[in-house]
A and B are shown apart, each in its own frame.
Chain A
């Protein structure tokens, strides 16, 4: 079924169409949820909430812009709301702010799930900032507004997240067998 027709059917609360839409986008949105969550279970909860919200709000979608982008924004907003509810983090900025955050391709030649785990293990606010800025292309100004923090906090959180990620990746490189990138 064409996407436009599928959306129309979903707007009429057609359960079969909703099922088809879920099948079409479940993997994309699940990946989004995995990046923003602490673990698989939380990601599946977020995916559930996201699709419920998508079906509830689909009447508001006016076919302007990418539908996938619209769904992703809902997913992101729900994830943000969830961690915002937990309250702001008291994050202290250490002196390692100037630490180098570059890695080689070889160092990143790890299992993808291991890299994902590294992101999931980040403190909530670091993870949100890293995802929003680095993986989903929001500006620091937008990140700041979405999370209710200052632009400088967003920038320092991002840097700290990268430092933590590098530490984790180096640690993984030392303990786990490497895979050849591209193999």
Chain B
């Protein structure tokens, strides 16, 4: 007797024995597509690196500008001292600058009791002398009848090198001796024809050192002032947590309270402008309603923000404006339909995304070096989080954290 069975169960049993193999061209096509994707991924990979590089470049530029400015100041200072000698050229000033550094060190060797201020004085004297020597030497070389008319000193170019290499030690010793004597007296007249190299240097230096004393005192005072001014703490670190409201301009979302936590590093480029980079974990959580079903999506991104912060108001509570971009790398995603996980449409979630960030930052000093920070922020995503919805999404967030400056 034949037994009747449900056709569904019967087919299921029969199909368990079915074995079929796809054509080889399927893998060939997959392989081609995977190679294409690899190239794409490579391009994406450079986004955050490019961002970090730009930031690093800005740091370097600011630092270089800072050091250039300080060098310029030194040169300017020397230029003032040397103003009676208009024939000095830029190249000469460079040599001066170098000698200045060398002499400061030499003075330390020559007189260990010399104070910081004395060192500055010595350095300035040395600079003056060095230049005098160089200029006179130049003159001597032109005249071709000086003891300095040595093959070694044959050209101005050579003189430059000699001044740079050989003079400082001698100068420093002389400067130190003079400081010990405390008279700065000398009878030198800059006559290089009948004096030895060291003598002429001493003489010339002595002549110049007297009128410089007032200027040096002024400089000393200003140096003291600058020492008393508190140093800018250029770096700061901000561990933070934020509550984010995830929304869309063209789709209604509910249960959209999300969170973000991480760390930001801040570099104060100027007194009011700072640059910052960070890394955080963004957990987006939202529900959309489609065809009477609620789709809840939980998406985690690693966020790398690159931002500029400009101080607007200084006071007990400092106010700044913050602008920048964030690079978002997908970490995890899951989709639930009415609470049941199905991951339907998970394939349409973008692996990478970017957002443009704009907000305000309020910070107040709690205790030494430690500030409390609150930042309301608006972030607009460049791409829809998932292609399925084509949403124009954004987040509104309130960030809170403690910023430690060092």
Contact = CB atoms under 8 A, between A and B. Distances in A.
Are A and B bound to each other? yes
B230 interface: no
B347 A53 contact: yes
Contacts of A152: none
Given A102-B6, A145-B337, A108 B14 contact: yes
A18 interface: yes
B7 A22 contact: no
A126 B68 CA distance: 77
B2 A104 contact: yes
A44 B3 CA distance: 37
B331 to A, nearest CB: 8
A142 B347 contact: no
B329 to A, nearest CB: 11
A118 B20 CA distance: 16
Interface in A49-101: 51-53, 55-57, 60, 62, 73-74, 77-78, 80-81, 101
Interface string B26-43: 110111011101100100
Interface residues of B, number: 47
Given A30-B21, A81-B345, A146-B337, A52 B2 contact: no
A1 interface: no
A7 B44 CA distance: 23
B7 A60 contact: no
Contact of A165 (B7, B23, B31): B7
A169 interface: yes
B338 A30 contact: no
B300 to A, nearest CB: 10
A112 B15 contact: yes
The dominant DSSP class at the B interface is mixed
B12 A135 contact: yes
A139 B214 CA distance: 96
Contacts of B291: 148
Given A145-B337, A146-B337, A146-B342, A78 B26 contact: no
A84 B170 CA distance: 91
Given A53-B347, A130-B8, A148 B293 contact: yes
Contacts of A103: 4-5, 7, 10
A34 B19 CA distance: 11
B17 interface: yes
Interface string A100-142: 0111111010001101101100000000001001110000001
B2 A106 contact: yes
A104 B290 CA distance: 43
A53 to B, nearest CB: 5
A165 B34 contact: no
A31 to B, nearest CB: 6
B235 to A, nearest CB: 34
A31 B18 contact: yes
B14 A27 contact: no
16 contacts: A13-B38, A18-B30, A35-B15, A48-B29, A51-B30, A57-B346, A62-B332, A73-B342, A81-B345, A104-B5, A105-B5, A113-B18, A134-B12, A142-B342, A145-B293, A148-B291
Interface of B: 2-12, 14-15, 17-23, 26-27, 29-31, 33-35, 37-38, 41, 290-293, 332-333, 337-338, 340, 342-347, 351
Interface of A: 13, 15, 18-19, 22, 26-27, 30-31, 34-35, 43-44, 47-48, 51-53, 55-57, 60, 62, 73-74, 77-78, 80-81, 101-106, 108, 112-113, 115-116, 118-119, 130, 133-135, 142, 145-146, 148, 158, 162, 165-166, 169
Q: List the 3 shortest-distance A-B pairs measured between CB atoms, nearest first.
A: A102-B4, A134-B8, A104-B2
